[in-house]
């Protein structure tokens, strides 16, 4: 298996372009006038450099690219020198480093290496005896030097266009990925709304059906208590248990109805700090040994929200935070206004939430407490949604949780 993996790794390094380069340099070597080691050596080194260039990660840096281009320029210069110098028919090999510079270094780098290639080629004239100069057509040499700059410029234009297109495609791909995330979130929200609607209808019907028998049982328990004599202490105690459990069941039915009924949100300008203070005061009566700290931004102006419903939201979140916090611990309520929204964060340093449960905590009837019914956070989420806001949670097991409610400051009342 390990051998196969290594083999597949080597195969992935081989590209179709590599065979083109091998064929080109093989043809150059075959047509070379001399085939000794001094001729073939620089050509082989140039071929290896050309093939290995895209496979070496270190060449991704500008310094690495410049080094590699200079290396190819030297190999091409040596091979041309060994195969006729200024008269060599392989002068075009100097185009390889120029093209590499054009595709990786931009306009300035392209012009620099085009100039160096032209200088390197024309430098072979220094090795020609001045008496033999009249035998050469210098216009050909000049055209070849100009070709280095022309080819480099054209390749650079194409490379810049390709980079621009690639950047546009990347930006489009990122936007599509972001849009896909939004679509998935919308699908999840739609499925959640469907589940909530179905559960709401079921809950409403069941709650109404339970209300009547519960009232009958409660009345019967009261009558039984009144008609029992003082000597029947056990019967009176059982009747009291019946009344207590009926009250508990009735409270549960009331919560079901609160969840199932459509909310009537009354948007009126309210003071967020005062609403939070009322919720904190209610929780502090039940929070024995736990301190609740307030960290309010002082300049948040009144904005439209249903004070009664949002008080219920903050009460539920604070109550959950207190229940998750050990005695002697603290809970912090923090507010902040930003970009037309108000953020209310309830922070505790309790047990935290298991990452596997994070996706379910706002679902109805999901709870981790034995005495809970799993409607608190579902109702909170429903109220926040009706206000056009969002609720998010960050939690780390053993370090606590942060529930953040985001409400818009500008929102017209529903007709």
CA-to-CA distance for 140 and 146, rounded, in angstroms? 10
Q: How confident is the model at residue 405 (pLDDT cuts 50, 70, 90)?
A: very high
% of the chain residues with pLDDT over 70 = 82
If you average pLDDT over residues 247-254, what whole number do you get?
Answer: 72
pTM above 0.75, yes or no: no
89 or 343, greater pLDDT: 343
Q: Which fold has domain 268-408?
A: Heat Shock Protein 90 (3.30.565)
Residues 164-180 have pLDDT tens digits of 888 888 888 889 988 88
Q: How confident is the model at residue 44 (pLDDT cuts 50, 70, 90)?
A: confident
Residues 81-100 have pLDDT tens digits of 888 888 888 888 888 889 88
User: 3-class SS at 137?
Assistant: coil
- Most confident listed range (228-232, 323-327, 333-337, 386-390): 333-337
Domain boundaries along the sequence of the chain: 2-136, 268-408
* Contact predicate 280/333, CB 8 Å: yes
If you average pLDDT over residues 46-57, what whole number do you get?
Answer: 79
Residues 262-275 have pLDDT tens digits of 667 788 899 999 99
Token pair, residue 183, equals 């679509």
Q: What value, to the nearest 5°, has the Cα angle with vertex 331 and ends 329 and 336?
A: 155
Q: Pick from 329, 336, 337, 326: which is nearest to 292 by CA?
A: 329
As a whole number, the mean pLDDT across the chain is 80
CA-to-CA distance for 238 and 229, rounded, in angstroms? 13
* Contact predicate 368/357, CB 8 Å: yes
Report the half-sphere exposure of 402 (CA within 13 A, side-chain side): 9
Residues 25-37 have pLDDT tens digits of 788 877 777 666 6
CA-to-CA distance for 259 and 198, rounded, in angstroms? 12
* Contact predicate 358/391, CB 8 Å: no
Residues 183-219 have pLDDT tens digits of 888 887 777 767 766 766 776 677 667 777 877 887 8
Q: How confident is the model at residue 413 (pLDDT cuts 50, 70, 90)?
A: very low
Token pair, residue 394, equals 């960050």
Is residue 344's pLDDT more than 90?
yes
Which pLDDT belongs to residue 8? Answer: 54
Which pLDDT belongs to residue 327? Answer: 83
Residues 139-152 have pLDDT tens digits of 778 888 888 888 88
Is residue 414's pLDDT more than 60?
no
* Contact predicate 255/380, CB 8 Å: no
């Amino acid at each position: 298996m390990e051998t196969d993996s290594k083999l597949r790794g080597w195969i992935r390094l081989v590209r179709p372009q590599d065979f083109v380069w091998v064929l080109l340099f093989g043809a150059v070597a075959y047509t070379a006038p001399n085939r000794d080691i001094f001729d073939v050596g620089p050509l082989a080194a140039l071929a290896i450099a050309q093939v290995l260039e895209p496979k070496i990660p270190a060449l991704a840096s500008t310094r690495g690219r410049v080094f590699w281009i200079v290396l190819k320029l030297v190999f091409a210069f040596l091979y041309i020198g060994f195969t006729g110098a200024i008269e060599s028919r392989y002068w075009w090999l100097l185009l390889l480093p120029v093209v590499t510079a054009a595709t990786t270094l931009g306009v300035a780098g392209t012009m620099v290496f085009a100039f160096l290639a032209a200088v390197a080629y024309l430098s072979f004239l220094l090795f020609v005896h001045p008496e033999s100069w009249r035998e050469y057509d210098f216009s050909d040499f000049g055209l070849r030097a100009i070709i280095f700059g022309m080819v480099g410029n054209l390749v650079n234009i194409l490379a810049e266009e390709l980079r621009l297109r690639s950047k546009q495609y990347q930006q489009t791909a990122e936007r599509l990925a972001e849009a896909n995330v939004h679509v998935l979130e919308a699908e999840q929200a739609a499925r959640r709304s469907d589940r909530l609607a179905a559960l709401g209808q079921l809950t409403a019907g069941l709650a109404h059906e339970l209300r009547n028998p519960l009232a009958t049982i409660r009345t019967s328990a009261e009558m039984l208590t009144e008609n029992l004599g003082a000597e029947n202490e056990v019967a009176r105690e059982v009747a009291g248990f019946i009344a207590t459990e009926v009250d508990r069941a009735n409270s549960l039915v009331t919560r079901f109805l609160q969840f199932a009924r459509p909310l009537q949100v009354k948007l009126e300008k309210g003071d967020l700090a005062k609403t939070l203070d009322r919720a904190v005061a209610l929780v502090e009566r039940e929070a024995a040994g736990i301190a609740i700290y307030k960290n309010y931004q002082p300049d948040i102006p009144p904005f439209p929200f249903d004070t009664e419903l949002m008080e219920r939201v903050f009460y539920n979140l604070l109550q959950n935070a207190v229940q998750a916090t050990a005695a002697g611990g603290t809970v912090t309520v923090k507010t902040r206004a930003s970009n037309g929204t108000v953020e209310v964060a309830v922070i505790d340093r309790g047990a935290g939430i298991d990452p596997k449960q994070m996706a379910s905590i706002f679902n109805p009837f999901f709870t981790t407490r034995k005495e809970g019914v799993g409607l608190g956070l579902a109702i909170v989420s429903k109220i926040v949604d009706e206000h056009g806001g969002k609720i998010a949670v960050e939690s780390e097991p053993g370090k606590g949780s942060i529930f953040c409610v985001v409400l818009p400051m500008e929102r017209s009342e529903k007709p």
